[in-house]
């Protein structure tokens, strides 16, 4: 489970840190300086989430507080360490289904309570190379394939080893071997961990100023979630073409390991945006394809960022999922505003899944204090049920 593993990781990191500092720095005072010159940060995030979902009589009202304590040592002889604790507490009654509290009469709000070690790793940095060993946050690109699900109160983190190498100002390589994924559901959930042999490779190259290509290969050989065991390889392009910003991506996915299915599904996305006066306007299309009755899957993505905030596509339907959307964002004074409209359909069988409206407003109340209000409404056709969600969130950083 997550907490015992984290304790073992933290203990081993502490031992390795002392040994490494002693051999590399050669002086106990260097270790003391690494500790005393380190930085400590506290983040408090209070959130209210309301869910009204057709087919469930009761409406969910989740009131939760995330408290995060982070300590990072100073760097000595190239070595540093970080440890981060998260606590999620329900404020008031748990009138929501956290996935583990047994309140199944309410819609799901996947913010279970509990205290956990979110990160605990040893790092080493030298001449463009950085190595991490232990529990860590991993976010690749826009987090469409690998991310931390940072919107949820209990973040997704990774147990393993990572190396980042900047071979030149234009070319960077990022490889991780992960043996366990600590998911958002908490220690009490049977879905809390995804173990396996996971290889995450990502390389980016700045073709020219304002133009970047990224190639990636993700082999996810899970121990138990066999239907999610896949190999995915693909490429992203991000660049500026005149007054427009363009993101384009393509990927191919097949089964791997002990996955009992045979398939080869495609993913592609294009997002085009431009500034018009004080507004940023955009249009995009994303397709998660289907083959042999299997939809293209992204189980380690920050899924809340994609295909609408009501989270109706956390698992890709067997027929695949296509998302055509338009979006707009801007500011009125210090208030940031954004809106998006999504229409969803299947990749095969011509199913009309439905559509969704997303609205967001955020306002900096003071230095390091932010207020966010968010609304989402999913109108169902051939998938799921009508759902409306409303969030209010205050974030304090010290």
Q: Over the stretch 241-285, which tens digit does the pLDDT of each residue have?
A: 999 999 999 999 999 999 999 999 999 999 999 999 999 999 999
Predicted local distance difference test score (pLDDT) of residue 24: 53
In this structure, what are the phi and psi dihedrals at residue 30, rounded to the nearest 5 degrees? -65, -40
* 3 state SS of 185: coil
- Cβ proximity of 51 and 389 under 8 Å: yes
Q: CA torsion, points 25, 28, 33, 39, in degrees to nearest 10?
A: 90
Predicted local distance difference test score (pLDDT) of residue 180: 98
DSSP 228: G
Cα–Cα dist 110/293, whole Å:
28
- Cβ proximity of 247 and 270 under 8 Å: yes
Helix 2-24 × helix 28-36 angle, to 10°: 130
* 3 state SS of 15: helix
The pTM score is 0.92
Predicted local distance difference test score (pLDDT) of residue 22: 52
How far CA 44 is from CA of 18, 142, 155, 318, 361, in Å, comes to: 31, 25, 14, 39, 19
Cα–Cα dist 218/177, whole Å:
10
Pairing, β 157-166 against β 60-72: unpaired
Cα–Cα dist 53/96, whole Å:
12
Helices (H), 173-326: none
Tokens of 278: 């004080």
- What is the Cα gyration radius of the chain? 22
Predicted local distance difference test score (pLDDT) of residue 94: 95
- Cβ proximity of 338 and 327 under 8 Å: yes
- Cβ proximity of 72 and 38 under 8 Å: yes
Which regions in the chain score pLDDT beneath 70? 1-27
DSSP 73: P
Q: Which of 206, 264, 211 is nearest to 233 (CA)?
A: 264
Q: Which of 184, 140, 202, 131 is nearest to 160 (CA)?
A: 131
In this structure, what are the phi and psi dihedrals at residue 132, rounded to the nearest 5 degrees? -125, 135
Q: DSSP labels for 89-153?
A: EE-S--BSB-SSSS-TTS-B-----EEEEEEEEEEEEETTEEEEEEEE----TTSSSS---TTSS
């Amino acid at each position: 489970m997550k907490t015992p593993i984290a304790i073992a990781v933290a203990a081993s990191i502490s031992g390795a840190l002392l040994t490494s500092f002693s051999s590399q720095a050669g002086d106990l005072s260097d270790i003391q300086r690494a500790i005393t010159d380190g930085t400590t940060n506290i983040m408090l995030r209070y959130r209210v989430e309301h869910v009204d979902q057709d087919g469930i009589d009761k409406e969910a009202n989740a009131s939760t507080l995330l408290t995060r304590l982070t300590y990072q040592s100073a760097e000595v002889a190239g070595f540093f360490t970080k440890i981060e604790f998260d606590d999620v507490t329900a404020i008031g009654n748990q009138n929501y289904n956290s996935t583990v509290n047994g309140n199944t009469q309410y819609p799901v709000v996947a913010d279970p309570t509990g205290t956990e070690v979110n990160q605990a790793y040893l790092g080493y940095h030298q001449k463009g190379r950085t190595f991490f060993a232990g529990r860590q946050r991993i976010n690749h690109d826009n987090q469409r394939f690998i991310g931390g699900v940072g919107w949820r109160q209990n973040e997704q983190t990774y147990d393993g080893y990572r190396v980042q190498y900047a071979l030149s100002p234009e070319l960077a390589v990022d490889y991780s071997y992960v043996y366990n994924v600590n998911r958002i559901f908490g220690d009490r959930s049977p879905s809390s961990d995804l173990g396996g042999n996971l290889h995450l490779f990502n390389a980016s190259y700045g073709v020219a100023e304002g133009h970047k290509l990224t190639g990636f290969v993700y082999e996810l050989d899970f121990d138990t979630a066999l239907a999610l065991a896949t190999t995915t390889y693909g490429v992203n392009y991000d660049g500026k073409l005149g007054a427009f910003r363009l993101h384009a991506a393509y990927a191919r996915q097949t089964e791997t390991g002990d996955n009992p299915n045979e398939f080869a599904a495609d993913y592609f996305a294009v997002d085009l945006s431009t500034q018009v006066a004080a507004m940023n306007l955009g249009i995009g299309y994303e397709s998660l394809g289907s083959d042999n009755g299997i939809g293209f899957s992204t189980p380690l993505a920050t899924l809340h960022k994609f295909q609408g905030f009501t989270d109706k596509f956390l698992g890709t339907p067997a027929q695949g999922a296509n998302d055509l959307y338009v979006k707009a964002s801007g500011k009125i004074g210090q208030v940031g505003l954004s809106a998006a409209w999504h229409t969803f359909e299947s990749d095969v069988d011509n199913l009309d899944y439905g559509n969704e409206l997303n609205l967001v407003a955020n306002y900096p109340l003071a230095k390091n204090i932010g207020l966010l209000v968010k609304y989402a409404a999913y109108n169902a056709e051939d998938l799921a049920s009508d759902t409306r969600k409303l969030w209010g969130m205050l974030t304090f950083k010290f």
